[in-house]
Structure 1
Amino acid sequence: MLDGFWTRIDHVGDRPALLLSSRPAITYRELADRVASLSRELGTSKKLVAIEAAQSEHSIIAYLAALAGGHAVALLPPEDGVASSSFMERFAPEIVYRREGGRWRLTETNLGSRDVAMHADLALMLVTSGSTGSGKAVRLSKTAVAANAEQIADYLGLHPGDIGALVLPFHYSYGLSVLNSHLAVGAAVWMPGTSVLEPTFLDDFRAARCTNFAGVPHSYELLEQRGFRQQRYPDLRFMTVAGGRMEPEAVRRYHGWLQGAGQRFYVMYGQTEATARIAYVPPERLPGSADRIGIAVPGGELWLVDDQGVTITGTDVAGELVYRGPNVMLGYAEARQDLAGGADIEELRTGDLATRDENGLFRITGRLRRMSKIGGVRLGHDALETALAAKGIAAAVVGNDQQLLAAFTGPQDEKVVREALAMLACIGLPQVRAIALRELPRLANGKIDYEQLRLRMEEPPAREKATVISLFREVFFPLQVSPQDNFAELGGDSLRYLELTVGLERLLGTVPDGWEKMSVGALSALSHSTSARRTIASDILLKSIAILLVVLHHATPWPIPGGAGTMLVLCGYGLARFQSSALFAGDLRRFLRPLGLVLWPYYLVVLGFSIAWGAIPWASVFLVGNLGFAQPGRHEMLPYLYWFVETFAQLLLLWGTLFAVPPVRRFAVRDPFRFGMLLLAFAVLAHFVIPALWPVGQRQIFTLAWVLHLAVFGWCAAFANSAGKRLAVIAAGCAVMPLMAYTGGNWAGSWILYGMQVPVLAVLLYLPRVRLPALLAAVSVSIATASYHIYLLHRILPEVIFDTGNPKIFTAPLPVAISVASGLVTGILAYRLQRRMMLGHQLWRGLRQLARRLRYVPAGRRRTLLGAGAAFAREQHGSRVSP
């Protein structure tokens, strides 16, 4: 058995242990003295000690004192009367330690059953399922608690000089693991006593000299809202995330930002049944493994089993994830008598479906158990059904990690059931739905058909017109919200903050600074005054400006070059943002899939020219017309303006080829920014060398070699996630762009073309979002989304309508206006037509698959399935589709 860290705190001396905002630091020496004193009060006979797990030195000292005295500790959520009463009734603790009247008191309850002696190994109890009143408690041994603290400290590389930020709930196994692992190595824990929402949090975090931060995915979304990555933290060594799936893009974002400063980001996976941690992704495996949970913690073992319990040895084969290690629980407990037993299990069936890749890293693909994890809280669907039944509601509960749905029968109103479920689950109304059914769907054996209910979750809910006050009432249910209340006074937390931020952006167009301290009435008054403005991504605005410049360039005698150059910068920027995950995974098929969407409208244009000319422009068919050996005049290729499509296709093929080489891909995965800067040097060299080796005269401006550096600049801008990297991109732009302008003819147009790209890079680097009048924002979005189709078609109508060989056509205001307007309109209409065709194709494929499956479905279920399909169609097309 491992020697528990709680037995060693008196060996550390005067090093700080707990850092609190309300008082001087508590040293390990002081902590040891106070733990020993309280331990003597608890006595020597083993007791169950229930502790209100507030973020307070008192609850931590009580926790350590109970462990040091050989007692069993139960950590209960603070200020939760329902959870506390339920635990007291079921487990009858001998001692309760909690706040009463503002003071911490140790109270003997006389509830403990003298006939039930607790097992000698039992050290800790954590309840896993919200406050439904029927959640199971996990029984953890001394060995498990001590072992997991050592495991975590091992792979994180914790040392006595570390200071961890404890912002997570103490009764939550993840938050508890932060405390345990730091105490295990003699490190310090900072307890701010406030949430990440506080305006002073970032300054306090820096002032405390924290070396690490542990959060759930919602914590990182809050940090983004606070501009966390725009500031410097000289003492920060690493950050960790667990408690739910973090989006791979967010993982890559934080990994890149931390890596740029020589710091680390850890993605972790765990369950309370394994004390806290089961697996982690070594930082060197990021960003390429951003969607993985990684490998087993030191001393643990992970594997997969199939439905028959047979071990799966192959890669990329789904099975249930199983874990074995010293940190696995003794078992569950539902009543006091369960505390007498020893270990019920040797290995933990996690209930999660996973696969293992060729590198030995595991990835979660789904769940076997009926369970959701919303806001870091695990919610058992069966327990929620039982709790609803106790209220007289016959319901079946399904859900995912975003939402719960209760399908019920009976006279209750949907609103009542929805509110009851939200209260039982302790989550907000936005994450809860309820639907009334005449009868619950059942399988042939009489069991509830949960799969059919999951289909109902896909149906869009009917929504009333939202207002600011209705949004607050939804999010803060069951609290009564008045116009005088504000977010801070209502006790808002991180999950509610995010819900309201998104909702207020939808209602107001933008969220004012300090909104959390503005009254609901004041926010409501902003509804009309701020709705005339909208925030959009800066690359969308740049794309719309770029395509407008291209259209003007081809429609007027006053060409403004630079639009196509900006579009190439944005191509590289888009590759990095939206397709790098496929490149890093070596999935070239997924990477090249968007090329098909680009090429088929292009080939329609090729077909049109072929019919008009009576000849096939083979060079354009094979996307090599820009290489200089074909002529539009001989109908061997399309007009020169279509060079951009050929260059873009060649760009994708080049990028895909590079990442098909394993050493190149591994280097790019480790440091995508450095890869980009090296590729930029190659692209600048290619700009001068390849035209010399393959001279094609002035047509060299249409070749990939001539413009490759522009796309690479976009890639570098997307991965410039630190101040130093952003400055490096700007410096490179200021050096390269004048060189290109000078060697590209040294004329005004060349200087405009390349000079424009430096401010374009600056906008991408330093102004990721821009605020515009709502109408201008809507127009920009429409033009940007249709930019490719505008590029393809903007010269078709002018060429048909006007004699473009007559120079006067390009100077007369009416022909110029018609040329520009027709180019924009035809492109937008073509884009919308293609989108409708794609949606129709998806719907047709879905209906064909549904029809094939219906042949094997009992007749009684077909109508429900068809109804779900019709609802999906209505949502996608906005049209009336009957079941």
Structure 2
Amino acid sequence: MTPVDLFSEIARADDRAALVFADGRTLSYAELNARTLRFAERLGRAEKRLIAISAEVSEHVIVAYLGALRAGHAVAMLPPCDDRLRRDFLSAFQPDFTLRSIDGRWRLVEEVRSGDGTEPLHADLALLLMTSGSSGAAKAVRLSYANLDANAHSIASYLELSSADRTALVLPLHYSYGLSVVHSHLVAGGSIFIPGVSVVSDNFARVIGESGCTNLSGVPYSYELMEKTRFRTNELKALRFITVAGGRLTPELIRLYRDHMRVRGGRFFVMYGQTEASARIAFVPPESLSDNEERIGVAIPGGSLSLVDDEGHPLDRSGVAGELVYTGPNVMMGYGTDRSDLARGAEVTALHTGDIAMRDEQGFFRIVGRKSRFAKVAGLRIGFDIMEQVLAEEGIAAALVGDDEGLQAHVTDARVAERVRRILVEASHLPANLVSVLERRDLPRLASGKIDYARLTEEMLETRKKSHAAAVSTLDAYARVFYPHAVNRNDSFVSLGGDSLRFLQLTMELDCLGVALPEGWEHRPIAEFGMWPQVTPSSRIAEIRALPTDLVLRAIAILLVVVHHEMLWPIPGGSGVMLLLVGFSLARFQSGHFLTGDFRQALRPAINVLIPYFLIVVAYALVWRAVPWASITLTGNFGYAEPARHEMVPFLYWFIEAYAQTLLVFSLIFAVPAVRRLARAQPFAFSLVLLGLAIAARFSLPLLIEIGQRQIFTIYWGLHLGIFGWCAGMAGKPVQRIILAAVAAAVLGYLAFWETVWIGTTIKYLTIFAALIALLYMPRIRLPAYIGRLMTLIAVSAFPTYLLHRFVPELLMTPASGALPIPVFHLLAISGGLAVGVIANKSWAQLRNGMAMARNSVRPTQLYRRSAPFLNGANVNSNPTNIERTVAGGAPHSA
């Protein structure tokens, strides 16, 4: 028998319940004693053996594990679903027996070992556990019987466990935390409940409550999942404490569960440990769990904590960071990489945890980083854990990896991506082009629930291999879309003065390249494109695509306009949605230029709208042999001119005039430096003031300026819609979105139901309100890939479609107007109008691409090669202007 008393309570062999199962069955201490002894007899006691167990949470595994230890053998607890690790372990450590489920039955198999590693196992060796997140060759932590016994008694002591306690075993048994739950309850004579359901199950809380469990232990991910099932809403009267370890639980969840247990007279233990210390190292006494949730507490009974600097010298002062060192009887014997290592005795007296910690004046420790979770980026030493904590304090969960070439953050909420990037730039003091943020559906996790940083790092390095080619092709796309302006790899869409039209064109170009665009990509330098995921051709066919909401709305709006102009149905919301999108696009792409007084950049996109418009005006002038001055001066929407008198082009083009006048209004507003300062200080509040003024103009000016029904085309009639869109682009916080939605409900609701003169007006303002809510609360809309491509094609062709669609029925189809049935004529006119827009857009794109490639005989790849030194992080500060433009352009939108 083993010389420690880990099994003293089992050996009492009484009728107390030891294991309890979800079906109501129990295994008493007497039955557990008998079964573990029988398993020990199967293994024999003559020679110390190594037994590798596939560690599923089941009574068979628990009995085999305890039986092997009682017989004095060593046990390796292996993840049950990791075949690669099992093969590596068998090859390196050559166990004498394996226990695993084969065809639904648990089988003990005696393995045939090679002649290597014939030295006997060390007498003290009890347990091998694989290090968390290990990869490559198997590496194990060697733990002794005394390690397990000391840690079990220490945990039972500070948790005040007794024979009346029953725990719910929801943690893996190949995980040191899970085994420590078993050990501590067995030495206290308590019982272990195996629920048979996951923490994500809706029945989990009910099962725990009915089982009579007095405590529950989980990792941070367990609590995140439990929140999704509203675990805290259940009344679990028997639950007297819960514990968390195995990683950092967010301060918000710590406070929630701390207060939840306090109200019920229970306790919440935040603990810290490592496999190398048999599980537990420190804990926070629940009565000390105040608002300093980041603390790991004090050493467990029998152990001690200290800090050392990089040279190993002790650090005694509070508030100084150093490596955390733990000493105690639960510190491992050492590591092992093959069978021969298992013959060695204890080699470690003090455990250097690898965590960077600080001690406060009360003697409590807190982790501030990890030695291996650092990188020196652009000459600055950056701690990834510290950066994660900075984000957590802002209520953002993220996983950070990086190396000397930059930081990479992973988030699951696309709406916070640009905000995360801004926070990291400010906190790290790194140039913006060295910080990237990727969106993913879920963060990869290890079996223990911890984030799999090794996998994230591997993905980062793999995508970096593709970065050169991706950046070249992306730079090529930018050069085509922004022709004739010069483009380099440190430019962003916003810094180049991109607008909504170029946004759509570039979106389609990048989609053809297979680039998956994250939220906020328009503010990011071209150099970062190689670090983003690529969409494979097969996935482009079958996947659900998440398109920007404004892109989808633009496609819907132009469809409504084309149909309404042909059919005269009561669906006039298309032009209103287009006005809304004008304001939203100005906030998204030009706000940084307006707020800094850079009107050259802010107004440059107007060229792409006005040149095609004036070409149409010239065409009308040549046909009419008269100059339509009202259209040339962009004032025809004020009602003083008539197309019939050839004073202006048809009313159809009022939207272009309203667009130009909107830009003029914004330019006049932001031309005053004091106004710009105010807008930069309080961007959303300032935007609400603008909205109030526009709404006042909408209701007052029609009373002063009487132009009849032509007033619906004037700027004062529709400016409030554009500023609603601007406010939507500025509303980065939930409370701001709520305020804007409430104002919109009041104003647009009044216009839809009280001021309305016909059903079309009601539909118009309800459509605009729905579009605004979508912009506020649906940053992306998920569509099947083929529908997404069609919507993108329609959206990118929206402007030429608007300009040209009426030429189809009024010019091209005039000879057939009497010969075709009316429904067929309407259908051909609508589809023809859309087709003309698509053809015109593609023709212009081909012409633009050809001119871009021929520009000065310099191809985009040559431009890329000129800036190649930036690829490896060299000269990261040699072009600060571009960096500043990128940051400045992104700040107002995300404020």
The structure with the largest alpha-carbon Rg is: 2
The TM-score, its normalising length taken from structure 1, stands at: 0.49
Higher relative contact order (CA 8 A, sep 6+): 2
